Structure 1
Amino acid sequence: MTSFDMLSPETIAAGDATDAYFDRTVEALEHAGNNPHVVAEVTASQFPSGDWNLFAGIEDAAHLLAGRAVDVDALREGRLFDGGPVMRIEGPYLEFCRLETALLGFLSHPTGMATAGLETRVAGPDSLVLSFGSRHIHPALAPMLERAALVAGLDGISNVAGAETLGREAGGTMPHALIISFGRGNQEQAWRAFDEGVDPDVPRIALCDTYSDEVEESLRAIAAIDDLDSVRIDTTSSRRGDFRHILRELRWKLDARGHEDVGIFVSGGIDPESIRELRDLVDGFGVGSHMTDADPLDFALDIVEREGEPAAKRGKLDGRKQVYRTPDGGHHIGLADRDGPEDGEPLLKPLIRDGEIVREFDIDEASERALEDAETVGFGG
């Protein structure tokens, strides 16, 4: 079988997915017989700034660190945070030195995607929002993307293998390629082939913008398929014109012909702004590039304590810390051995003790946590 340019799980777990200077660090420390007991923290920014992010990727990070002689505390998956540490690792430094590169990757990329996903979720709280983005990323990352989407509260995912990895079911109906396969002017044949050939449990959603006007094709699809659930409009942005006007016209003409029960679903370049603009007309949205184009959050791992003494490089806050959520939605950072704010909930909670994972990872619980946190802190408001 052809080999793909990607690393195996075994390579990552062994610490070989590392930057070369960590290999040099191990060589130097071992030569000197120096393996200090340290506390290290993962942070993106030192102080709160009002820039909230949704924490994701923690399950993969936990499995990377499991079996090492370390204790780890971390935020829970689906927790919103604004500055300060999201993870604290304590143990002999050589236990996790070579894991830093992979650890930060496990956290940075999904956190960026999950945050973008939550932006779309809160933009359309009453809308159906689905993840359509797996075509924009390396296929090995599909489960990561789809998990981030579900943690963010999206209603469904599209990647088949990604969904299977997560114990979920992928959703989707038809691409333009199906319509084109039957030739110009034969859209009805394509819609009927889908209706007659696809499992009855799959929603009957017809793609209605391949060759002609969106309204015309939608009315033809309704005539071709009994009990059509929705029409999907995926018109390329260069041909949309006033997209809201097109959808208003479509909704009007569907309703005028007694098809109030037929929904409208849109996809293609959908972002929070377009969801807010169209949510009164549209029942569902397919979100892709807004999530997959999200910048990974710039996490860094820094030693903050060495052999029980504060230690951090310039520009970083030394000493082990705790972060707190207060009932008013505040995010507070303080030294772990000091009292936190009144009524503040400590957010760094046990993840690994003596190398053993002591936490379960439930996507639905993480999603509930994300949506509750979003309301508490006013995310996206």
Structure 2
Amino acid sequence: MNTADLGLPVAVPSTALFTDQYELTMLQAALRSGTAGRRSVFEVFTRRLPEGRRYGVVGGTGRVLDAVENFRFDETILGFLRERGILDEPTLAWLAGFRFRGDIWGYPEGEVYFPGSPIMRVEGTFAEAVLLETVILSILNHDSAVAAAASRMSVAAGARPLMEMGARRTHELGAVAASRAAYLGGFHTTSDLAAGFRYGIPTVGTSAHAFTLLHDTERDAFTAQVDSLGSGTTLLVDTFDVAEAVRTAVEVAGPGLGAVRIDSGDLLLIAHRVRQQLDELGATKTKIVVTSDLDEYAIASLAAAPVDAYGVGTQLVTGSGHPTCAMVYKLVARADSEEPGAPLRPVAKKSMGAKSSLGGRKWAARRLDEDGVATAEVIGTGAVPAELADRQLLVPLVSAGTVVAREPLDAARDRHIAARDRLPLSATQLSRGEPVLATEYV
């Protein structure tokens, strides 16, 4: 869901400068050489998953579609480029009328991917396709990293709810994107109101330690919060002495107190003590929420603890140690002339080491066993084998410049859960290992 779904207005700035200068200088040189109009195919893929990860998660597709629609060079942007002397006048004139009119195919958002998976394919003239490289990579690399971390945390949490609360641990625009990616990966709520406004994600939040310290006593703080938000609120109980705070919280709010939050200390030990104390005080339905620099490993370690929900910040919005997915955007096929019917031929980087790539316009499919469990990621450039024809992964996203695959965020979230459930069971292990599916080239 986004603000369009909610019927809310939102300013949509141009995304044209979310790019590297060399995209524009390549355009200028190609216009001069007469090659800018050659039909070209670019693909987004990663050569490897982050170390120890078993699968990747495609995140940010919806944001990419927004970025492509809003990639426009208005007079202010053109004036900036002219003032800096970055481009010549013929190139600026060409950009003034720029609209992406090509096609984009891709793995649907929420799908899982593996090394070599052609996550997105952009087809058009060289001029229009090359301009989108940086903005597409910046979105997919960030959002996929956060979505993958969120997915792992979701597995570790099981049925317990997860709250995203990392806005203060990244920059303001990144926080909104991270909230969206976290929801896609399995989180339930966010503390970031901009994300709630823009994408319809449920929002949560009550108070911090500063609110307790503002008041003369902890009791005064709890009383003020309950008077304002009701007894179903969540009270933060680790500002001073946890046991005393829990006792005071139940006295102020009554046994119907919604939850207590623990944000420091030995969470496993404290959670057990707090649960016992709450039960003894008659607050048997009061929930326990834990925060404090959690990641998927810390969440997994609390599986046996009487914890009802987790709040995660820093580790989530930074991809739990892997803030990017190392995705690249490579030219894999192009025509030999600007003639409309000129055939495409494969091209590829052939440098030494691990940075070489495979040429050709690719398809991708996932082989399943008789139980519907995935067994391999199959990628090819020729005809699709008959047995894989109905298991192809790329879907049309943009056709002749028009977005054709916009969907609610909840649809991508549901897709991810279904895709993850079709992977071998070892995919959800948090121990380090190789990708759970091998990539086969045919």
TM-score (structure 1 length as normaliser): 0.89
Is 2:152–2:296's contact at 8 Å kept on the other side of the alignment? Answer: yes
In structure 1, the residue matched to 2:63 is 60
Residue 203 to residue 86, structure 1, CA distance change in 2 (3 Å) = farther
Cα distance between partner residues in 2 of 1:166 and 1:45? 31
- The alpha-carbon deviation at position 211 of structure 1 amounts to 1.6
Residue 340 to residue 147, structure 1, CA distance change in 2 (3 Å) = farther
Cα distance between partner residues in 1 of 2:151 and 2:48? 23
- The alpha-carbon deviation at position 334 of structure 1 amounts to 2.0
Is 1:323–1:331's contact at 8 Å kept on the other side of the alignment? Answer: no
Residue 369 to residue 104, structure 1, CA distance change in 2 (3 Å) = same
Residue 110 to residue 46, structure 1, CA distance change in 2 (3 Å) = closer
In structure 2, the residue matched to 1:234 is 263
In structure 2, the residue matched to 1:245 is 269
Cα distance between partner residues in 2 of 1:336 and 1:73? 15
Equivalent position to 2:249, from 209, 221, 232:
221
Equivalent position to 2:181, from 148, 151, 170:
148
Structure 1: tracts of 5 or more residues without a match: 1-7
In structure 2, the residue matched to 1:4 is none
- The alpha-carbon deviation at position 107 of structure 1 amounts to 0.9
- Name the aligned partner's letter for residue 73 of structure 1: W
Bigger Cα displacement from structure 2, 248-257 vs 292-301: 248-257
1:228 is paired with a residue of what secondary structure? coil
Cα distance between partner residues in 1 of 2:228 and 2:139? 40
In structure 2, the residue matched to 1:361 is 407
- The alpha-carbon deviation at position 146 of structure 1 amounts to 1.3
Cα distance between partner residues in 1 of 2:386 and 2:234? 51
Structure 2: tracts of 5 or more residues without a match: 1-10, 70-98, 336-343, 351-355, 430-442
Is 2:49–2:325's contact at 8 Å kept on the other side of the alignment? Answer: no
In structure 1, the residue matched to 2:234 is 205
- Is 1:332 paired with 2:377? yes
Cα distance between partner residues in 1 of 2:201 and 2:270? 35
Identity of paired residues, percent?
26
* Structure 1 residues 5-154: aligned runs within 5 Å: 10-12=13-15, 14=16, 16-35=17-36, 36-45=38-47, 51-66=54-69, 67-83=99-115, 84-154=117-187
Cα distance between partner residues in 2 of 1:53 and 1:222? 44
> In the TM superposition, what whole-angstrom CA distance separates every residue of 1:102-125 from its partner, at most 9, and x where no partner exists?
111011101101111111111011
- The alpha-carbon deviation at position 290 of structure 1 amounts to 1.6
- Is 1:287 paired with 2:312? yes
- Name the aligned partner's letter for residue 18 of structure 2: A
Cα distance between partner residues in 2 of 1:341 and 1:247? 55
1:330 is paired with a residue of what secondary structure? strand
- The alpha-carbon deviation at position 204 of structure 1 amounts to 1.2
* Structure 1 residues 163-312: aligned runs within 5 Å: 163-183=196-216, 186-198=217-229, 200=230, 203-212=232-241, 214-226=242-254, 227-235=256-264, 240=265, 242-280=266-304, 281-294=306-319, 295-307=323-335, 308-312=344-348
- Name the aligned partner's letter for residue 395 of structure 2: K
- The alpha-carbon deviation at position 151 of structure 1 amounts to 0.6
Count of aligned pairs: 362
TM-score (structure 2 length as normaliser): 0.78
> In the TM superposition, what whole-angstrom CA distance separates every residue of 1:250-307 from its partner, at most 9, and x where no partner exists?
2222223332211111001111112122133100000111211221211110011111
Structure 1 stretches of 4+ with a deviation exceeding 6 A read: 46-50
Cα distance between partner residues in 1 of 2:384 and 2:132? 32
> In the TM superposition, what whole-angstrom CA distance separates every residue of 1:186-226 from its partner, at most 9, and x where no partner exists?
1111111111113x5x94111000022x2221121111112
Note the aligned Cα RMSD (angstroms).
2.1
Cα distance between partner residues in 2 of 1:154 and 1:168? 10
- Name the aligned partner's letter for residue 365 of structure 2: Y
Is 1:233–1:266's contact at 8 Å kept on the other side of the alignment? Answer: yes
